[in-house]
Structure 1
């Protein structure tokens, strides 16, 4: 096919939108739709290659695959190798392990599935994933694999004209599928081929059904196409269901520019756009790791350096890697001659090694390795005792039951300290149920369906406490702030996350004040039910951190050569716990529950700390480690004595 300047300029328009969005999403809130522009372009080019080959009976499937590999793999493999070298020196073991996993899935072109199972594209955790942007390459590669095979099979039974009709019908049909999938399962729709294939097919329609347009109308069509793409950059936002019907805006815009086929316009004759378009693939590869780099090192106004660097590195990658002319082959027997395949294997083996050796942990200093392993040195007690069977009951120690601990996984993390206090008094019963708040009648969303297992369990233990354990003190420990206001850790943060369902209302981090008030009332009523037959001690939430504490400690050691304290402001901790503190205070007023505040074990007047004396107090961003739990014992003992609670 003759070089199309309009398509090359379109690539520039697409990459500019994507880069500006990623470096600052306030500039172009819909800039991510530039990826959809790329999809249409790819569909047009791939359809032209495959159909021309099929029409002339000269199409070679193997040659097609090799050509795609020659185009895509070398620059991608080089980027991955650079990140692997960078990670060797600057990433903590768990982060390097994760990078290995992501490099492997990127080289396998399955990273869209990997990221689908990890988090949403717009979640804050996205900015910690060095190769998140390769999800779109994976979608394209999956299309490249399936598309020619399907056309080759259909060509055996259909003539070219009927094949074109099937193509057009398929484009409409897959758009309908994408529309419904976008609303029924938006995360899958964003990442997976079935919801994106219509965009690629529409590019094919532009090739198969070229429009006969007068020159004066071509100009208008091109202008309309450009306007639609730019309108999409400003009209679409992260909250837009994507790729729903709004995706038609940039996709139709791209289609109109392609079918107008103007090679002498202001857009196509723009020298800057032509250069950027030529380098666009490499710019796309490099820009996202640079975005993450600026966040990883907390560089202010990083875009001032990151955007120019994206273009410079993109040019260098194009000039010295993309421009290499690797030979193509027609026969499958030549597979071992395909150089990109060896790049794929070499990079994949290195990445698999990083993943399977915890980031090649042997190359880290011993002190850094200890930080990563230390949180698990000692029994985590309740974390292994998840009572999803309502009749199951974990017990620590011997003798009569002296205390009961109930709540979510935070109670399981803290039970070590309570068990130590009651060690000589009797046994401690563990009523931990992970991810389940102590809230009667509550439901949680698990495996794509609502389940009442949490509420049923709470109701069953309320009954059990009044019959079997009447008078035994019960410690209620929850990550209460999470159920009211959502998560703090970046890899799980999303304003649309479903927290719980209670009294037929679904609660999210964005729920209204009135709804949160009702949920708080539910917590209070549950505690008061329990207090009718048992002394109740509600433990104040422990500080939470927006990162993995051991990893943050390792990161400070790697970057600074010494450990710096992992901390948040005490003010932010207090702000975070307004609702949970309200719940405990009201329960104290209404039904006499005791409130156990262990904040001073973690915080001074100004800050709350995730580490002490070089040791991690948490196993992640919110669960106490055995060491952290042990630090609560002296303060717990003092507080319980002041409450006249026997232990």
Structure 2
């Protein structure tokens, strides 16, 4: 018998080493900053174990797709189905419409093992917003099962046509996949993270162990060293990597290599590391690892959805214990009964019942998926508050983020206020977009006309570095704005809007002082003063720690009370550097400054809602209602000075 097929306690222990960092990373336990690499270790283990079985049966001529996929369904589907059903019940009563829509879509696609494609188009795994997505973790199950749709036919073909070159071909495919992942991670990281062809190299690493790429160690000391090094690579990655690193690709290689070294060392005999991994507690965690992986993330998401603020250490401990308990219950009473030997005579019936359950789960996901998150589930006021997140933003289309060519040809340059020759220009980033509606209202009242030119994460400064990769550089866009002003001498007032504290903080990252935000601002002010254009700075709105519409809606739905307003002192501390910067500018230049916090904050707190309506549509952009709320202050911004009125 192939020794690789003998039950190995060390592999169950390795499963524990894979799943525990994932769970602790998702709990936010700081030392486990790279715990997400546990999934990569799982891929290697799965690639080894499944490929060992398939390769043996293909070589023996006993492989059948029916038996292979029955085993996969028995292994994965029952526990997954129960998790999807129970989380669906909780989600129905708890999630806001947008979150429930995303949940429902993922619920249906998880059954079909297509969730990775869904999240590929929807979210960045390392974004804080994923804390509201209970089924995000199903992406990895989808990647694994897609691999096992493609891999058995490939292996069958290679055994029959190129038996002597199997390892060479599989190694070539693995290297090609790794190369593609490394290229993608710097350009389209979500593609590298979620798609099977760029994750295949991790599964193929395990498969290559099963097909005998590496000869066994002949000396015990070499096995010991190999296993110990493997464990060190995995643990080192868990504690040293973090979500800011480009991932996956080469950054996942140490963890993958570590898993390969441990599995390979154990193929030739027992090691000290193997005995450590084979201790009863680690083996138990390894046995329940699949169910633990299934249940921990929805549990954490729902708990966080209710709690809103970060978990305390005691709450983290309680959630960890509860997730392990749920994992054990699922393993004991759902996984284990279905993993017995199959009965070929009843295989068709098993597939039929599996299809019925899958169809039922897809059916129950439809109300949330095909509607706007089944908003009818919630009280009308809750749905209304939550909808602010996706409200139609005035002047977003077609005005916001237009191209350089559009600016130069004056296409889609929107008018604020009355039609006619422009009196002022609103120039800035996405915060200018948030204020465009308010400026439009007050300009109409005063019979004035303005224009609007803005791009996301693009401060109104000339020749600065890029603050976020984009298909249109900020430098090119802002140069086009200057050309626009040159063509329109009737514009005598420019209003500059930006999240100033953020750009100034990022100046510390700039290697070239000439392309810094401050240097760019100096060039902007020099241009405006040379042209004789007066200008006004709008100091930024208070930044909120929480997503305002979501949190207000959740608090309303759950009948909870939580203070989410930042204190005025917190706001002042956050903008202190920006205020000092503008104070220094005022010593050299003459301009107006208008502080939006004069309206949004009182002596104690900064407002996030008025009459139950959110003033923000996220954590930092004013909503339509918020733009209207600050409009009295905006009116003072565009009011024409007496001297100009007389000259007219």
TM-score range, shorter chain: 0.7 to 0.9
Matching residue of 2:462: 440
1:309 corresponds to 2:322 = yes
Matching residue of 1:595: 593
TM-score (norm 2): 0.84
Quickly say closer, same or farther: Cα 1:458–1:223, change in 2 above 3 A: closer
Quickly say closer, same or farther: Cα 1:615–1:71, change in 2 above 3 A: same
Matching residue of 1:161: 164
- CA offset at residue 603 of structure 1? 0.9
Matching residue of 1:492: none
1:233 corresponds to 2:247 = no
2:32 to 8, 28, 39: 28
Rounded to whole Å, the distance in 2 between the matches of 1:173 and 1:463 is 47
- CA offset at residue 618 of structure 1? 2.0
Rounded to whole Å, the distance in 1 between the matches of 2:218 and 2:431 is 69
- CA offset at residue 319 of structure 1? 1.6
Matching residue of 1:143: 147
Q: Secondary structure at the match of 2:601?
A: coil
Q: What's the Cα RMSD here?
A: 3.6
1:192 corresponds to 2:192 = no
Q: Secondary structure at the match of 1:63?
A: helix
1:355 corresponds to 2:369 = yes
Structure 1 unaligned spans of 5+ = 486-507
- Match runs of 1:73-88 below 5 Å: 73-88=77-92
Q: Secondary structure at the match of 1:422?
A: helix
Rounded to whole Å, the distance in 2 between the matches of 1:341 and 1:34 is 31
Are the counterparts in 2 of residues 443 and 455 from structure 1 also a CA contact under 8 Å?
yes
Rounded to whole Å, the distance in 1 between the matches of 2:571 and 2:328 is 46
- CA offset at residue 146 of structure 1? 1.0
Tell me the alpha carbon deviations over residues 456-504 of structure 1, each in whole angstroms, 9 at most, x when there is no partner. Answer: 343333343344243532222233344444xxxxxxxxxxxxxxxxxxx
Rounded to whole Å, the distance in 2 between the matches of 1:616 and 1:180 is 42
- CA offset at residue 309 of structure 1? 1.0
- CA offset at residue 599 of structure 1? 1.1
Rounded to whole Å, the distance in 2 between the matches of 1:417 and 1:28 is 45
Are the counterparts in 1 of residues 11 and 263 from structure 2 also a CA contact under 8 Å?
no
Rounded to whole Å, the distance in 2 between the matches of 1:377 and 1:198 is 42
Q: Secondary structure at the match of 2:326?
A: helix
TM-score (norm 1): 0.85
Rounded to whole Å, the distance in 1 between the matches of 2:465 and 2:517 is 12
Rounded to whole Å, the distance in 2 between the matches of 1:54 and 1:285 is 31
Matching residue of 2:565: 567
Are the counterparts in 1 of residues 57 and 63 from structure 2 also a CA contact under 8 Å?
yes
1:460 to 464, 469, 480: 480
Quickly say closer, same or farther: Cα 1:458–1:621, change in 2 above 3 A: same
Quickly say closer, same or farther: Cα 1:187–1:109, change in 2 above 3 A: same
1:202 corresponds to 2:205 = yes
1:480 corresponds to 2:500 = yes
Matching residue of 1:536: 535
Matching residue of 1:91: 95
Are the counterparts in 2 of residues 211 and 259 from structure 1 also a CA contact under 8 Å?
no
1:52 corresponds to 2:56 = yes
Q: Secondary structure at the match of 1:150?
A: helix
Quickly say closer, same or farther: Cα 1:616–1:233, change in 2 above 3 A: closer
Are the counterparts in 1 of residues 464 and 520 from structure 2 also a CA contact under 8 Å?
no
- Match runs of 1:15-414 below 5 Å: 15-158=19-162, 160-172=163-175, 174-175=177-178, 177-178=180-181, 187-209=190-212, 211-213=215-217, 216-217=220-221, 221-241=226-246, 242-244=248-250, 245-262=253-270, 266-267=275-276, 269-296=278-305, 297=307, 298=309, 299-301=311-313, 302-325=315-338, 334=348, 337-373=351-387, 380-381=394-395, 384-386=398-400, 387-388=402-403, 389-390=406-407, 391-392=410-411, 393-395=413-415, 396-414=417-435
Quickly say closer, same or farther: Cα 1:250–1:181, change in 2 above 3 A: farther
Quickly say closer, same or farther: Cα 1:108–1:634, change in 2 above 3 A: same
Quickly say closer, same or farther: Cα 1:34–1:161, change in 2 above 3 A: same
Are the counterparts in 1 of residues 75 and 338 from structure 2 also a CA contact under 8 Å?
no
Q: Secondary structure at the match of 2:338?
A: coil
Structure 2 unaligned spans of 5+ = none
Quickly say closer, same or farther: Cα 1:43–1:588, change in 2 above 3 A: same
Rounded to whole Å, the distance in 2 between the matches of 1:625 and 1:589 is 34
Rounded to whole Å, the distance in 2 between the matches of 1:529 and 1:175 is 49
1:417 corresponds to 2:438 = yes
1:604 corresponds to 2:618 = no
Q: Which structure's residues are more often helix, by fraction?
A: 2
Rounded to whole Å, the distance in 2 between the matches of 1:524 and 1:460 is 18
- CA offset at residue 295 of structure 1? 3.3
Rounded to whole Å, the distance in 2 between the matches of 1:401 and 1:170 is 60
Quickly say closer, same or farther: Cα 1:510–1:445, change in 2 above 3 A: closer
Quickly say closer, same or farther: Cα 1:49–1:413, change in 2 above 3 A: same
